[in-house]
Amino acid sequence: MVPPDAPADAPPDNDVLRACGLHYAHGGSPALLGVSLGVREGEIVAVTGPRGCGKTTLLSCLSGRLVPNSGEVWFNSIPVHTLAPAARERLRRDQFGWVADTPQLVPELTAWENAALPLLLAGTGHRTARRTAMEWLERLDVGGCARKRPAALLQSQRQRVAIARALVHTPSVIFADEPTAPLHRTDRTQALRTLTTAARSHGITVVLATHGTEAAALADRTFALVDGRAATSPACSLSA
Ligand SMILES: Nc1ncnc2c1ncn2[C@@H]1O[C@H](COP(=O)(O)OP(=O)(O)OP(=O)(O)O)[C@@H](O)[C@H]1O
């Protein structure tokens, strides 16, 4: 509920993520030109748009992987855009999950160790971390690969391990950048449904970049980008 003394157009205070007026250029090449977005807790938002419109850059700024050239990013009451690198790294490790369009696993670790990594880094005991990772790997149909290293897995199996790793510590927000790109069409629906069902049942917010209508259909809302701008610009107001 918006408090009575808040500005009339203040965002709802159940926004878990808020971005306001984001600008970002890769070198001299502009990727975001004043993007504003609010995401509510537990919401699944699909960021859509043609190749090169800025989806990955937007997810990277929202998640603290990139610092915008100007504009603000808030995670609850935390100003992500002004955090020091170490604090941003901690925030990403503890509160966020990331699934890239190609699986980025640690080659020396087995599938279950890769999936358990966020728990192990947070100090969870080995046995609990392993059990939890195994549960997620099984939900994603790759439980049988748990002892294999990434090199021995198919690309589609690696991506499922990466999805398990994003879910394993039940983060506040998962950023998924074309998460089903490496999967065959038949595998896509199941992996997407596992991700979105798990997110809904655990109250995890998801920001999902996608070209596909299938992924967008599983989201609560679509946020369309065109040439680095929102296709329809929401008003931007920060109450914090
Ligand atoms: N590392 C980089 N160096 C230079 N330009 C980049 C870099 N990354 C992205 N860009 C440019 O920034 C713009 C936005 O790219 P971005 O990857 O965010 O778009 P996208 O919508 O995710 O594209 P895709 O659907 O192809 O993944 C594009 O013009 C792209 O060429």
Q: At what angle do helices 111-121 and 155-167 cross, to 10 degrees?
A: 20
Would you place residue 181 in the very low, low, confident or very high pLDDT band (cuts 50, 70, 90)? confident
Distance 24 CA to ligand 1 centre (A): 11
Measured CA to CA, the distance from residue 113 to residue 72 in angstroms comes to 35
Query: Three-state SS string across 26-51, please?
Result: ECCEEEEEEEEEEEECCCEEEEECCC
Average pLDDT, the chain: 89
Q: Parse the chain into domains and list their residue ranges.
A: 42-64+84-222
Tokens 């996608």 belong to which residue?
210
Q: What is the pLDDT of residue 1?
A: 39
Q: What is the pLDDT of residue 233?
A: 62
Predicted TM-score (pTM) of this structure: 0.89
Which of 32, 51, 57 has most ligand 1 atoms within 8 Å of CB, for mutation?
57
List the residue whose alpha carbon is closest to atom 18 of ligand 1: 54
Q: What is the pLDDT of residue 9?
A: 43
Give mean pLDDT, residues 121-145.
Answer: 95
- CATH 3.40.50.300 assigned to domain 42-64+84-222? The reply is yes
